[in-house]
Structure 1
Amino acid sequence: MVKQFPGGVWPVMLTPFTEENEVDYEALGSLVEWYIEKGVSGLFAVCQSSEMFQLTLKERIAVAKAVVKASNGRIPVIASGHISESLEDQAAEITDMAETGVDAVILITNRLAREEEEDDIWQKNCELLLAKIPEDIPLGFYECPYPYKRLLSEKNIRWCLETKRFYFLKDTCCDIRQIEKKLSCLKGSKLKLYNANTSTLLESLQIGAAGYSGVMANFHPELYVWLCRHFTEQKAKELSDQLSLMSLIERQYYPVNAKYYLSDEEKLPIRTICRVQDEEGLTETFKKEVDMLSRVSDELAEAYQVRR
């Protein structure tokens, strides 16, 4: 059985593609090395940032295997790829993903009930799904915004804790009051909350969140690593303010802009090719904004004595 996952930064991984729009496994290996060099605590592969809804099941499984192999046990790897509609297909998908060697399989909360359905239906479907998969598969949850965002209620969280099968929660509510209520439910349990939102991150760390699992770890994860390690220090507030403003780049042209950043600024062998966005949509103005982000990141790294 999996041990408690470490706190800190868990990037939502990108998927590099070749010119032929196939998964670029060599570039994927370079990306894993880059994350690890930046000091992250774990890797979240095959998630929405990975363009999992545009990957075949065969590709999702292959990507997870490749990340596990590249990480080589240095840090834990979790993966989702949980996108099917029927519970039978979801069970098969989860079982296949678990066999890749990942440390936990992450369930998408919106796959277990329709948007208009109540929490009781969600819980019933989750219970049925758990009965269809091996009990020794460590699990987690991701409040994925697509195709709709379903936040876990306190009632559902307490039920999940009773199963003793869940270890990781990627929270996307972006509301510190809701996070506070969730953390109250999770206190003393092995289910840890990782905040995806920069603006609420510092405060959430101060009240018990385990770490960060968000988009901006694809730009400057080392700054988030510093924040997760030093959130009790007075100067953490200044860095949090800067990171929150910089995180607005998420709304620009993601994930193309993140791949551009990694290619142009970090010199990784990654193309801007994506399946969810046309790379041509990354305008020269957008590129200038990403370049500015890189310069400010360098300045912050120097100020906080973080290696870039």
Structure 2
Amino acid sequence: MSSATSSATALPQGFIPVMLTPFLESGEVDYDGLKALTELYLEAGSAGLFANCLSSEMYELSEDERLEVTRTVVEQVAGRVPVVATGTFGGPIAEQALFVKRIYDTGVQAVIVITGLIADEDESDAVFVQRANELISLTEDIPLGFYECPVPYKRLISSDILAELMPTNRIIYHKDTCLDLDEVMRRIKVAEGCRFGLYDAYMVNAVASLNAGAAGLSCIQGNIYPELIVWICENYNNAEKQAEVEMLQKFFVDSMEIVHSAYPTIAKYCLQKRGFPISTYTRRDVGLLTSDLQEQADTLLDEIDRVQAELNISSVFKKSLAAPLK
């Protein structure tokens, strides 16, 4: 296996962005754009990268594209930070295990399991645990992670389920979408002493989750203002900056609705407006980026500039490089 040594290590603390996939206007994957986007995340201070995820439009990629997108990111990173990527897309567990191995062979540090593809919505937690253990047994010592992805449906992995699976010492990443701070704290508690890291996706609880022991954040907001997510991961418990932390947490709450509107198209629009040359082409049907949404996004971008100036955060974007809007 290409990353055999990773089975003994945990992922770093901090921001692990759920990566976008840039496309050409023809609809093909823009691999040069993907390399440039990878560098942008790294320049912003990301502790790791999550490739081939829902933000990457993974369900709209072919099997070969999923592998090539992941491989491109791994090669571009060249060992500077860990990369994780989704490796389960439904079907019999034995079939899913085969693709987990193929994704792992691209050089990622962990392969992410979509919880809603291990058991159907009407199947019990016992069935989920049985199949998760089957997947674990069929994938040698490959480090795994869970993603409570909302598609095909959101299957939450309770602290009780995590407690059953922690003794395998195979689960090192969890992208948490339960939106429940008390449950986040229970999940962190049951994994104490393990090389497990919970990365919260819900920015309303960002500071509270970090203070409770979350390893970091894996949120879609990092595809619009990555510098602010990195800053909060680095300063959430800085006693001298609690007023600024509180201000930024309020900004996360206030900007929640617009960030989720016509996503990921709106994120590509915002990146473009901030100076990154990316097309707004999106394979996934997420609704139109209307003129009203564009106006709201423009207002958000002004707010980002204001907040970054107030916190004295340098932008990783060069506005002079802005591409014409598509």
TM-score, normalization: structure 2?
0.91
Deviations 1:152-194 (A, max 9, x none): 1222101221101111010001111111111111222211100
Deviations 1:42-85 (A, max 9, x none): 10000001010111110000000000011111111110042122
Map 1:251-262 → 2, pairs under 5 A: 251-262=260-271
The answer as to whether partners of 1:263 and 1:270 remain within 8 angstroms in 2 is yes
Query: Which residue of 283, 307, 320 maps to 1:275?
Result: 283
The residue type paired with residue 97 of structure 2 is A
Map 1:176-187 → 2, pairs under 5 A: 176-187=181-192
Deviations 1:136-167 (A, max 9, x none): x1111111111111111222101221101111
Q: What is the aligned partner in structure 1 of residue 299 from structure 2? A: 292
The residue type paired with residue 277 of structure 2 is P
Q: Which moved more, 1:177-186 or 1:197-206?
A: 177-186
The answer as to whether partners of 1:119 and 1:153 remain within 8 angstroms in 2 is no
Cα gap change, 1:140/1:243 in structure 2, threshold over 3 Å: closer, same or farther? Answer: same
Q: What is the aligned partner in structure 2 of residue 241 from structure 1? A: 250
Query: Which residue of 23, 37, 41 maps to 1:35?
Result: 41
Unaligned runs of 5+ in 1: none
The residue type paired with residue 298 of structure 2 is D
Map 1:31-110 → 2, pairs under 5 A: 31-110=37-116
The alpha-carbon deviation at position 287 of structure 1 amounts to: 1.1
1:156 alignment partner, SS class: helix
Unaligned runs of 5+ in 2: 316-326
Q: Given the alignment of the two structures, is residue 169 of structure 1 paired with residue 174 of structure 2, yes or no?
A: yes
TM-score, normalization: structure 1?
0.96
Map 1:141-220 → 2, pairs under 5 A: 141-220=146-225
The residue type paired with residue 4 of structure 1 is A
Deviations 1:216-274 (A, max 9, x none): 00011111111111112312111101122112223311000001111122x22211111
The answer as to whether partners of 2:197 and 2:215 remain within 8 angstroms in 1 is yes
2:194 alignment partner, SS class: coil
In 2: Cα distance, 1:49 partner to 1:81 partner: 15
Aligned length: 305
The answer as to whether partners of 1:30 and 1:269 remain within 8 angstroms in 2 is no
Q: Given the alignment of the two structures, is residue 225 of structure 1 paired with residue 230 of structure 2, yes or no?
A: yes
| RMSD of aligned Cα (Å) | 1.2
In 1: Cα distance, 2:153 partner to 2:140 partner: 28
Cα gap change, 1:230/1:275 in structure 2, threshold over 3 Å: closer, same or farther? Answer: same
Cα gap change, 1:278/1:174 in structure 2, threshold over 3 Å: closer, same or farther? Answer: closer
